[in-house]
Structure 1
Amino acid sequence: MTDPTYVFVHGSNSNSFSWAPLMRELALLGHRALAVDLPGHGFSAPFPVSYQAPQDLGALASTPSDLAGVTLADAVDHVIGVLRRAGEHGPVFLVGHSRGGATLTGVGNKAPELVDRIVYISAWCCVDLTVGEYMATPEYATSALGDTAGVLTGDPATLGALRMNWRTADPALLAALKKAMLADGSEQEFLAYLNTLEPDESLDAGTERVDAATWGRIPRTYIRLARDTSIPIALQDRFIREADALTPDNPFDVRTLESSHVGFLVHPEEAAALLTDRQFSTK
């Protein structure tokens, strides 16, 4: 197989910038890669003036978001447009993290011919249930995100988006966020990572589940993050198990990294080596 182009899809409140260290490693190994900014993210992300320093917490909780009305379908269509262009240069591996998995599933359902391999990195891969339904299961119950609700501000229905105040100075909340996101990183790395995040995220996580007839025919890999306390390893394994039961003739190629939810983005060497492994690439 010709070397693929790796197309990366970010998770919630994130952007293409989060993939820069991993793409640097891939480039140093001689591979092409690009990262997508989903609609309303990256340089088009809404940053209310009230989010700046000093913060106006009242305005932050009440100023409507420019992300209001942005849907998962918008994200899927945007990525499909990127894949059409990337595919002009050879095979494409579509890689998603966390909430980005919902976009991967939508793309795989709608345009499987554009994807030569689909790769979930501790990402939502809805098979039997929707995102909301999985969040009510025992496998999700241990998620450390339950202790981070204080980062949310305002009424999502009024704002038209989920709004997080990543610039909080609350020490207990910061400790809970570090445990959920980057328990294996330093305090400096954690605070630097928080400053790459965007305050607003689309309300629409979608209800789409994998389609055996389309998504199910794409070669696929699931990279488990063994130290992830945001999407617990039990839930990651449930996604894998349910998908393999749906399409047993095309099971997940399963790999594991000893990483927290975002640790592999901060220290990407092992992830880059895994993604470029020849056995992985040719399966």
Structure 2
Amino acid sequence: MSPGSTPILLLHGSWHGAWCWTEVIAHLVAYGRPALAVDMAGHGLRARRPECLSVRPFDPEELATEVSPVADVHLDQAADLLVSQIRLLGRGGGVTVVAHSMGGVVLTRAAQRVPELMAHAVYLAAIMPASDSPADRYFARPENADALVLSALRGDPEVTGALRLDLASNDPAYRQQLRDAFYADLAPVVADAALGLLTPDAPVGMMRDTTRLTRGGWGSVPRTYVVCTRDMAIRPALQRVLIAEADAAFPENPTSVVTLDSAHAPFLSRPRELAEIVGGLG
């Protein structure tokens, strides 16, 4: 396939689902690019919610301690699913895969496994881990010290097996923190609509599993990183660290870098601009 007809697969990040790409797909299709958004393992239609969320009266202690129904989802399952989705869309040919946030960890594992199916790997404000490096290593770095997500988690991931958000909270300060973390450049009414579509649990296993990268695998795939300059979930300084590590490990295949003046979710706040970036790649 020529670059202009290479299909584009869109993979969301933690707590989100295929729904978040709707506006981007509309613009990509208008540009003549075939595009498909998919749900990541443990998310979207594959999500499972803690039982405590439907019990009344609500018990905040249960929210903090109930083991997640997606606690057994790990990077292997997520990568297997993504590879099957790539094969289906590409019909044996190359696919441009765009991954947001924690979806970048899944893209990295898939690209290492099947580099021949990757026309281009695009990381959108995403974790692009170095070889044998877990995602949670990055969130603790000083470059991400003022990010807003970790302090919004509820419960101990060691107990629940998940990164859990209290999406039903009526605490105005907490809800504002979630808006600021993900959707700071959206109107509050739109941000609240997006929060209503999130799933509360993201499997913690994906954050802790690692992938060994090789030159013939992930290191051979053309890649672009889209830095979101107002991101309060994965700070721009940390995004630059990820790029620097990749380029140090694979200098013969440097990362192409694009900046976007947006918060963490440009698929909602800047869908046309994001589609123009992605649509211009192979």
Q: Compute the TM-score of the two structures, normalised by the length of structure 1.
A: 0.90
Letter in 1 for 2:134: T
The letter of the residue matching 2:9 is V
Give the CA deviation at 1:191: 0.5
C-alpha distance 112-177 of structure 1, shift in aligned 2 (>3 A): same
Of the three residues 234, 237, 247, the one matched with 2:237 is 234
CA distance in 2, matches of 1:165, 1:116: 38
* 1:55 CA displacement: 6.4
Residue identity in the other structure for 1:77: D
Change (3 A) 1:244 1:62: closer
Alignment partners' CA distance in 2, 1:53 and 1:158: 20
Equivalent residue, structure 2, for 1:188: 189
Select between 78-87 and 114-123 the one with higher mean Cα deviation: 78-87
Within a 5 Å distance, the mapping from 1:3-152 to structure 2 comes to 3-52=5-54, 56-58=58-60, 59-88=62-91, 90-127=93-130, 129-146=133-150, 149=151, 151-152=152-153
Tell me if structure 2 keeps the 8 A contact 1:125–1:210. Answer: no
Say whether the 8 Å CA contact 1:189–1:266 is kept in structure 2.
Answer: no
Q: Match for residue 153 of structure 1?
A: 154
Q: Contact 1:51–1:165 at 8 Å: present in 2 too?
A: no
CA RMSD of aligned residues (A): 2.0
Matched, 1:175 2:179: no
Q: Are the counterparts in 1 of residues 23 and 267 from structure 2 also a CA contact under 8 Å?
A: no
Deviation at 1:272, TM superposition (A): 0.6
Deviation at 1:209, TM superposition (A): 5.1
Alpha-carbon distance between aligned partners in 1 of 2:156 and 2:147, rounded to the nearest angstrom: 23
CA distance in 1, matches of 2:66, 2:148: 28
Matches of 2:269 and 2:230 in 1, distance apart?
14
Aligned identity (percent) is 36
CA distance in 1, matches of 2:240, 2:146: 14
1:143–1:231 CA contact under 8 A, matched in 2 = yes
CA spacing shift, 1:54–1:156, aligned 2, 3 Å: same
CA distance in 2, matches of 1:137, 1:176: 20
Partner-residue secondary structure (3-state), 2:91: helix
Q: CA offsets per residue over residues 99-150 of structure 1, 9 Å max, x none?
A: 000001101111111111000001001116432222232212232335xx2x
Structure 2 stretches lacking a partner, 5+ long: none
Provide, for residues 241-279 of structure 1, a one-character-per-residue CA deviation record: whole Å limited to 9, x for no partner: 1111211121111111111001333430100111112xx
Poorly superposed stretches of 4+, deviation over 6 Å: none
Give the 3-state SS of the residue equivalent to 2:41 in structure 1: coil
Distance 1:24 1:52, change over 3 A: farther
Which residue identity lines up with residue 42 of structure 1 in the other structure?
G
- In the superposition, relative to structure 1, how do residues 136 and 158 fare at CA in structure 2: closer, same or farther (>3 Å)? closer
**Cα distance in 2 between the residues matched to 1:57 and 1:14:** 25
Matches of 1:160 and 1:141 in 2, distance apart?
23
Secondary structure in 2 matching 1:144: coil
Residue 49 of structure 2: SS of its match in structure 1?
coil
> Contact between 1:105 and 1:209, CA under 8 Å: does it hold in 2?
no
The 8 Å contact of residues 21 and 268 in structure 1, kept in 2 or not, is answered as yes
Distance of aligned partners of 1:251 and 1:15 in 2 relative to their CA distance in 1, 3 Å threshold? same
Q: Across the two proteins, how many residue pairs are aligned to each other?
A: 276
Query: CA 1:63–1:241 in 2, change beyond 3 Å: closer, same or farther?
Result: closer
SS at match of 1:191: helix
In the alignment, structure 1 segments of 5+ residues that lack a partner are none
